[in-house]
Copies of this chain bind each other. A is one copy, B any other.
């Protein structure tokens, strides 16, 4: 085996990003062994991460690489064309994501997508999948790995030419990297948690709310959202400060809270179902992780949540993880399929963008739960829409660059900053013109 062709790669983590990178590397001719801690989800159902996924441009392009885009988007995704805001008096207000090009985001079931990706990986003859293998020890520089088979208790020692850590937000590989000098890492839990509550299917398997929208109940300090599922249900999530959840400690308080804040949702869910689901688990935490670098020499690399976990409010966690795989693939194309060169250059190419989307995701929580109800937000949104319609290639709003393009995340922020400056100048010009007009008018009328 030589670097550049038929390299021997171990991927740690069989979630979405781990399964995808396995496919992409296998397609490029590398030999990939995928080790996953959990059992094979296609055989044994285990309770996984709950928040629904919203697939957008970056994720779609990655799936296209392994010919899965069509299967996911057109056969299993539910197109959402915009946000539908629910007010306290049960009023509805639609805010389209992209009224110019009519782009949509797609509600996708996480475990379904994961199964698809594992199936696709397994079809490559140069791929081996190992489930129930928990990583116990790793030598990041030498490429030694020690796993334990959690079913048999057997210890497995192995070596790899290259290691890709796609082992999620609580990555063992990142934690091992964090012990090395000059590894920077910032792990932040926000003061808000979330609780899942599902909306039932309607009569004749119909949807009880519009299935073409991401539903939001924005309430300032907290919010509820709901995404449609293929089976007609909606998965709802309440995001709120932990203190708010702690105060809702009885069914009576919860129902009174819903009557006050989300009355239409209460009608749809029903009191009994709400109480039973809400108190089933305690509120889950939300973590944001930024680190640097993503590689150890030219052998080991972390990608996806292992490298940059983010809060879910821009729906870019999976999309950014999938784009990591695209970036890696592009680096391999550039470097004649040399994994060592791709790994060595990955951090430089990707890290600033990953940090940018972590920041944007944090900001978008504020937008979703609070700003969307503000006049200033809606005026800006209209201005953006008009300008985007007039200059479709020159004036692209922030949400569109993030969600419907592959503009580098960092550049999405620069682009927004540039637009802010332009709008500010336009407003000043308009102000000065009006002022000049009034003065001229006053002088004219005086004479």
A187 and B183 contacting across the interface, CB-CB below 8 Å: yes
Q: Is there a chain B Cβ closer than 8 Å to A407's Cβ?
A: no
- Least CB separation from A188: chain B residue: B184
Could you say which of A149-157, A174-182, A377-385 contacts chain B?
A174-182
A185 is an interface residue with CB less than 8 A from chain B: yes
| A170 interfacial by beta-carbon distance below 8 Å | yes
Chain B contacts for A183, CB-based, 8 A: 187, 189
A285 interface neighbour in B175, B182, B186, B188, Cβ under 8 Å: B182
Q: Are A178 and B187 closer than 8 Å at their CB atoms?
A: yes
- The minimal Cβ–Cβ distance linking A261 to chain B, given in whole angstroms, is 25
A179 touches B170 (CB 8 A): yes
The residue from B170, B182, B185 contacting A185, defined by CB atoms under 8 A apart: B185
Chain B residues positioned under 8 Å from A175 (CB to CB): 175, 178-179
Instruction: Please give the distance in Å from A189's CB to the nearest CB on chain B.
Output: 4
Minimum CB–CB distance for A18 against chain B, Å? 21
Interface residue count on the A side (C-beta < 8 Å): 14
CB distance from A55 to the nearest CB of B (A): 28
Q: Which residues of A, 181-201, contact B by the 8 Å Cβ criterion?
A: 181-189
Knowing A179-B170, A285-B181, the reply to whether A186 touches B189 (Cβ < 8 A) is: no
The count of identical subunits is 2
Enumerate A272-318 residues with CB–CB distance to B below 8 Å: 285
Question: Which residues does chain B contribute within 8 Å of A184, judged by CB atoms?
Answer: 187-189
* B residues in contact with A285, CB < 8 Å: 181-182
**A189/B182 in contact, CB under 8 A:** yes
What's the minimum C-beta distance from A175 to chain B, rounded to whole angstroms?
8
Per-residue CB contact flags for chain A residues 385-421 toward chain B (1 = under 8 Å, else 0) read 0000000000000000000000000000000000000
User: Is B187 a contact partner of A181 (Cβ separation < 8 A)?
Assistant: no
CB distance from A195 to the nearest CB of B (A): 15
CA distance A185 to B170 in the complex (A): 13
* Residue from A170, A181, A285 having most chain B Cβ neighbours under 10 A: A181
Query: In the complex, what residue of chain B is closest to A182 when comparing beta carbons?
Result: B189
A146-174, CB under 8 A of B: which get 1 and which 0?
00000000000000000000000010000
Quick one: which of B170, B181, B188 contacts A189, CB cutoff 8 A?
B181
Q: Cα distance A187–B188 when bound, in Å?
A: 11
User: Distance (Å) between the CB of A34 and the closest chain B CB?
Assistant: 24
Taken together as a complex, chains A and B put the C-alpha atoms of A184 and B289 apart, in Å, by: 10
Q: Which B residue sits closest to A185, measured CB to CB?
A: B187
Rounded to whole Å, the gap between the CB of A352 and the closest CB of chain B is 15
Write the nearest CB–CB distance from A134 to chain B, whole angstroms.
Answer: 15
Nearest-neighbour CB distance to chain B for A290, whole angstroms, equals: 9
A182 cross-chain contacts in B, Cβ below 8 A: 189, 285
Q: Complex: how many Å from CA A181 to CA B282?
A: 13
Q: Which residues of B contact A189 (CB under 8 A)?
A: 181-184
A188 CA / B187 CA spacing, docked (Å) = 11
**Can you list 20 A-B pairs, Cβ within 8 angstroms, ordered by A?**
A170-B179, A175-B175, A175-B178, A175-B179, A178-B187, A181-B189, A181-B285, A182-B189, A182-B285, A183-B187, A183-B189, A184-B187, A184-B188, A184-B189, A185-B185, A185-B186, A185-B187, A186-B186, A186-B187, A186-B188
Give me 7 other A-B pairs in contact (C-beta within 8 A), A184-B189, A186-B187 excluded: A175-B179, A178-B187, A181-B285, A182-B189, A184-B187, A186-B186, A186-B188
